[in-house]
Amino acid sequence: MTANLIGYARVSTAEQNPQLQEDALQRAGVIKTFTDDYASGSTQDRPAWQQCLEFLQPGNVLVVWKLDRIGRSTADLARIVTELGERGVQFKSLTESFIDTTTADGRLIFHIFAALSEHERSRMLERTRAGLDAARARGRVGGRPSTMTEAKIKAARTMHADKTPIVEIAQALSVGRMSVSRALAKAQAPKSV
């Protein structure tokens, strides 16, 4: 039994024509193609992509003309292909023929590709952490300013001492419930010397 080949095509601008992609997919034996016209790489802006994902069944092979048709980044692509694989759907790129999870060699290449993507993501997180640590060492604190000013903290403590529920305190001070909880917990924590 041969797998059903399902195609996906996408063009980003009105000047582009999906016909080249659709023709290549048809020549490859695709039985149904989903096409997003004038769609960005963001998956939220691609209704045909969402329909394609819903249509795919275990045993199907998703075929694209080029890798960048389904993902903006290596990490994006690795996530999508991994999720497809977990659903029993294989993946194949016509232009980058080395990415073909229907073959042992293609799966190997994909896993190397995914590992490199994960490595780059880890390196990016390390660089981000190092930057934040360096900023903290210079006395800078990240994040947005607290909504709990000293006056609001004092008012929250007084209201809390009077057994006012945290939800009511938050409403009275026009802040979130968690902001009140954190401020009260911080105020009650023993000070370290």
Whole-angstrom Cα distance, residue 125 to residue 120? 9
**In terms of Cα–Cα distance, which of 57, 21, 24 is closest to 36?**
21
Whole-angstrom Cα distance, residue 90 to residue 105? 13
Whole-angstrom Cα distance, residue 76 to residue 114? 10
One-letter amino acid at 170 equals A
**In terms of Cα–Cα distance, which of 88, 92, 100 is closest to 58?**
88
Q: Which residues are catalytic, by number?
A: 12
